A and B are shown apart, each in its own frame.
Chain A
């Protein structure tokens, strides 16, 4: 099983700042890495798939990068609605696995 480790666990920033979230895989996932946002009481929302492709309707301030085992989600100029929990997910091999999440909170 591929284990995904996200860091930091919690990130405290202010609106307008830049957020950088990391996801490290225990094995090479090539580029098969996605990112989701989950707001309290809501279902997850797909942001990025296959490392750097924005899903439909996702603002350009969200971007993804990386390859192999190290991946990054960057949110430029944080908006109030961006404060949420973010998960990475790999589809390189079964079972599909998620990271434990990074909580992005308002400083």
Chain B
């Protein structure tokens, strides 16, 4: 059974940093592209960042480029998101999502974690 378990959420002050982690199991993690997707309270879904299976290719939404860093450890089956210079608009539930790994391109996401809440407030 595929499982994705996020951790690391919490309250952080504007300008602060937070590191999210996602522990993956039940599939070959090292063969799967992965993403972070967030959802502000009462709002829709926003893709944040993606990383290739090997970790050598990354993509970011413009809203987080230069502030967030996605990484992975295929030996530990973990996906991370380092969030720096955080802003109030980064407040959201952050989901870890597994790519369906179709032959062409990236996404869609066939498995999601339950999410971890990040609140940016003073």
Binding site for B on A (CB under 8 A): 1, 32, 34, 36, 38, 42-46, 49-50, 55-56, 87, 89, 91-92, 94-101
How many whole Å from A73's CB to the nearest CB in chain B? 13
* Total contacting residues, chain B, CB less than 8 A: 24
Given contacts A95-B62, A98-B44, A98-B45, contact A32 B105 (CB under 8 A): yes
Q: Which of A56, A92, A95, A99 contacts B47 (CB 8 A)?
A: A95
Binding site for A on B (CB under 8 A): 35, 37, 44-47, 50, 59-62, 95, 100, 102, 105-110, 112-115
Q: Which of A1, A50, A87, A94 contacts B59 (CB 8 A)?
A: A94
Is B107 a contact of A91 with CB atoms below 8 Å?
Answer: yes
Q: Return chain A residues, CB-CB under 8 Å to B115.
A: 43
Is A87 a contact of B44 with CB atoms below 8 Å?
Answer: yes
Q: Which of A34, A43, A89 contacts B112 (CB 8 A)?
A: A43
How many whole Å from B52's CB to the nearest CB in chain A? 13
How many whole Å from A71's CB to the nearest CB in chain B? 13
Is A46 a contact of B100 with CB atoms below 8 Å?
Answer: yes
CA gap between A19 and B60 in the complex, in Å: 34
CA gap between A99 and B45 in the complex, in Å: 8
CA gap between A50 and B105 in the complex, in Å: 11
How many whole Å from A14's CB to the nearest CB in chain B? 25
